[in-house]
């Protein structure tokens, strides 16, 4: 079973920020939080990952709570091309990824 819980789906208006929550209450100290997304019929695309600190790159920001039991992926200005399934994954350092069902995000005009 996946170690994370995500909402099944969410909608977001184009141009607005999309905030995707993820619960990982059983995360252990050496496990990272990874986010991937998968656009229909394509392979998963890496977005961002973190251990304890908040992280930001050109695609998104990752906010991890102090107790590390949950996190939020933020897409600052959603576009129609951000419509995808977003996966939150918790993994130890060797990198085997266990995908859950993810969150289907639909960005609407």
Partner 1 sequence: DTGVSQDPRHKITKRGQNVTFRCDPISEHNRLYWYRQTLGQGPEFLTYFQNEAQLEKSRLLSDRFSAERPKGSFSTLEIQRTEQGDSAMYLCASSLATGNTIYFGEGSWLTVV
Interface ranges with partner 1 (CB under 8 A): 2, 34, 36, 41-46, 49, 85, 87, 93-102
Rounded Cα distance, 30 and 37, in Å: 23
Q: Which of 2, 8, 59 is nearest to 27 (CA)?
A: 2
Question: At closest approach, how far in Å is the CB of 44 from partner 1?
Answer: 5
Q: Between residues 10 and 14, which has the closer beta carbon with respect to partner 1?
A: 10
Q: Between residues 9 and 15, which has the closer beta carbon with respect to partner 1?
A: 9
Question: At closest approach, how far in Å is the CB of 16 from partner 1?
Answer: 26
Q: Which of 54, 67, 61 is nearest to 26 (CA)?
A: 67
Rounded Cα distance, 6 and 102, in Å: 6
Q: Between residues 73 and 85, which has the closer beta carbon with respect to partner 1?
A: 85
Question: At closest approach, how far in Å is the CB of 89 from partner 1?
Answer: 9
Cross-strand pairs, 23: 5, 70
């Amino acid at each position: 079973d996946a170690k994370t819980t995500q909402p099944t789906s969410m909608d977001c208006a184009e141009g607005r920020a999309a905030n995707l929550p993820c619960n990982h209450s059983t995360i252990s100290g050496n496990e990272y939080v990874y986010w991937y997304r998968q656009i229909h019929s394509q392979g998963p695309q890496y977005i961002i990952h973190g251990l304890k600190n908040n992280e930001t790159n050109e695609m998104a920001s990752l906010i991890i709570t102090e107790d590390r039991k949950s996190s939020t992926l933020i897409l600052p200005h959603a576009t129609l091309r951000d419509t995808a399934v977003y996966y939150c994954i918790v993994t130890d350092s060797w990198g085997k990824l266990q995908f859950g069902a993810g969150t289907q995000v639909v960005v609407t005009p």
